[in-house]
């Protein structure tokens, strides 16, 4: 079992990132270690340059995300935690895979269409070839399991297509260069929605800070954001059915369920009949209880640049080592002489 996943260091990490991705990393790191495998978690800083960015902010976000991941429970003695920029093999392998990936495949990627929008001509080339770098990220390590959100499934399928074509073109069936990775989309990857609009995902790019709970928010701010969250005047139903057409109410109950590690039905069985005047304070208390300790660790670690640098350096050294045989096999298979 080799788990590999990346997360982009852009913007402030929020509750949606925690419940949808980061918490799952912590579970997988423990599972991988128990199975005698490895778990590699990296900061996709090379992906972050596919959109216009400010260098100072990228550096700060990268360090903050390391602090966040560790504060959330990613343990550098169990998982290999690093940033792409310190492992040149990612960029090298991407170039090799650019020979295998087809224009037609990349043209079908919905993320490129979404992110380039009406300005395709002005989009960076990196945004277009982004999925090839993502393929290199996982193929370099012979990943077997790749935890991703629903929105990244298409990129994972592309990674499989690239691996398959490369193996076909340059390797033999019984001695493939790359392993075909399987995506794992966490069942509880509860789509955590904006606190201001139950139909939009909670997002770091939302202009309103009131729309999301940042992992760096203090207890009072979290409580205030829950108190001000959009709702409707009805009390909570006692069954899920009663939340149809009530996206904001469903979102708050889903957040509660995810934090309590239980089901929406179980939350409604307990809180059905309550109005938001009673439910919101209960949710705020739970939120602060779960995120408070994470925030405290984050605030402390964020200031400790030496520790953060040391974590990344150690992770990168381990990752470089693991990637050596596959990168060599890819060069060799293509007939590239490296002496």
Q: Quick check: is 224 catalytic? A: no
115 is a catalytic site residue: yes
Smallest distance, Å, CB 86 to ligand TRP? 15
Answer whether 93's CB lies under 8 Å from 330's CB. Answer: yes
Q: Which of 29, 83, 152, 231 binds ligand TRP (CB under 6 A)?
A: 152
With CA atoms as reference, report the closest residue to 45 among 99, 89, 7.
Answer: 7
Nearest residue (CB) to ligand TRP, 29 versus 134: 134
**Which of residues 131 and 256 has its CB atom nearest to ligand TRP in the complex?**
131
Closer CB to ligand TRP, 26 or 268, in the complex: 26
- Residues 85-114: x where in contact with ligand TRP by CB under 6 A, - otherwise, as a string: ------------------------------
Report the C-alpha gap between 63 and 244 in whole angstroms: 41
Q: Give exposure, 211-247, as e/b (b: 16+ Cβ within 10 Å).
A: bbbbbbbeeeebbebbeebbbeeebbbeeeebbeebb
Residues in the chain: 339
Instruction: Please give the residues from 166 up to 225 whose contact with ligand TRP meets the rule CB under 6 A.
Output: none
The CB-of-152 to ligand TRP minimum distance in angstroms stands at 5
Least distance in Å: CB of 60 to ligand TRP? 19
Q: Which residue is catalytic, options 27, 78, 113, 115? A: 115
Question: 253: buried, middle or exposed (CB in 10 Å: 19+, 13-18, 0-12)?
Answer: buried
Give the active site residue among 78, 113, 118, 204: 204
Per CB under 6 A, the segment of 132-140, 229-237, 271-279, 301-309 that binds ligand TRP is 132-140
Residue 202, Cα to own-chain centre: how many angstroms? 14
* Strand partners for 40: 4, 80
- Distance, CA of 114 to CA of 95 (rounded, Å): 24
How near is the Cβ of 325 to ligand TRP at its closest, in Å?
19
Tell me: does residue 5 bind ligand TRP (CB under 6 A).
yes
Out of 39, 148, 255, 268, which residue is the one contacting ligand TRP (CB under 6 A)?
Answer: 148
Report, in Å, the least distance between residue 248 CB and ligand TRP: 25
Closest CA to 115 of 107, 103, 127, 125: 127
Of 37, 46, 45, nearest to 3 by C-alpha is 37
Catalytic, 302? Answer: no
Query: How many residues in the shown chain lie near ligand TRP by CB under 6 A?
Result: 12
The interface region with ligand TRP, picked from 1-9, 223-231, 257-265, 298-306 by CB under 6 A, is: 1-9
* Least distance between ligand TRP and beta carbon 111 (Å): 8
| 198 phi and psi angles, rounded to 5 deg | -70, 0
| Closest residue by beta carbon to ligand TRP | 6
CA atoms of 84 and 167, how far apart (whole Å): 24
From 19, 79, 97, 138, residue interacting with ligand TRP (rule: CB under 6 A):
138
Cβ of residue 234: shortest distance to ligand TRP, in angstroms? 35
- Contact set for ligand TRP, span 19-78 (CB under 6 A): 44, 47
Rank residues 132 and 288 by Cβ distance to ligand TRP and give the closer one: 132
Distance CA 170, CA 334 (A): 6
Nearest to 147 by CA among 221, 41, 48: 41
Strand partners, 80: 40
Structure tokens given for 188: 């509880």
Q: Catalytic amino acids?
A: 115, 201, 204
Positions in the binding site for ligand TRP (CB under 6 A): 5-8, 44, 47, 134, 137-138, 146, 148, 152
């Amino acid at each position: 079992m080799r788990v590999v996943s990346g997360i982009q260091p852009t913007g402030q990490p929020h509750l949606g990132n925690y419940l949808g991705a980061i918490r799952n990393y912590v579970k997988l790191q423990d599972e991988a270690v128990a199975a005698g495998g490895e778990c590699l978690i990296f900061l996709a800083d090379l992906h972050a340059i596919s959109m216009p960015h400010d260098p100072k902010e990228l550096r700060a976000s990268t360090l903050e995300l390391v602090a966040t991941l560790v504060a959330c429970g990613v343990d550098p003695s169990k998982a290999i935690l690093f940033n792409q920029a310190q492992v040149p093999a990612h960029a090298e392998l991407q170039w090799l895979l650019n020979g295998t990936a087809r224009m037609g495949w990349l043209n079908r990627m919905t993320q490129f269409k979404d992110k380039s929008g009406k300005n395709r001509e002005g989009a960076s080339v990196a945004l277009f070839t982004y999925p090839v770098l993502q393929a290199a990220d996982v193929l370099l390590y012979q990943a077997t399991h790749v935890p991703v959100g629903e929105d990244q499934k298409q990129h994972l399928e592309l990674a499989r297509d690239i691996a398959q074509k490369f193996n076909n073109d340059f390797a033999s069936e019984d001695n493939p260069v790359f392993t075909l990775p399987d995506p794992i989309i966490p069942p509880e990857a509860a789509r955590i929605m904006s606190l201001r609009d139950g139909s939009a995902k909670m997002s770091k790019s939302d202009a309103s800070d009131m729309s999301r709970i940042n992992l760096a928010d203090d207890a009072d701010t979290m409580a205030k954001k829950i108190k001000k969250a959009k709702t409707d005047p009805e009390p909570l139903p006692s069954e899920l059915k009663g939340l149809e057409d009530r996206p904001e109410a469903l979102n708050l109950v889903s957040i509660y369920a995810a934090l309590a590690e239980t089901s929406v039905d179980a939350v409604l069985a307990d809180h059905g009949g309550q109005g938001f005047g009673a439910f919101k304070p209960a949710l705020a208390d739970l939120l602060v209880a779960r995120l408070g300790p994470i925030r405290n660790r984050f605030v402390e670690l964020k200031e400790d640049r030496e520790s953060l640098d040391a974590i990344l350096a150690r992770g990168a050294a381990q990752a470089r080592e693991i990637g050596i045989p596959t990168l060599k096999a890819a060069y060799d298979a293509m007939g590239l002489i490296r002496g």
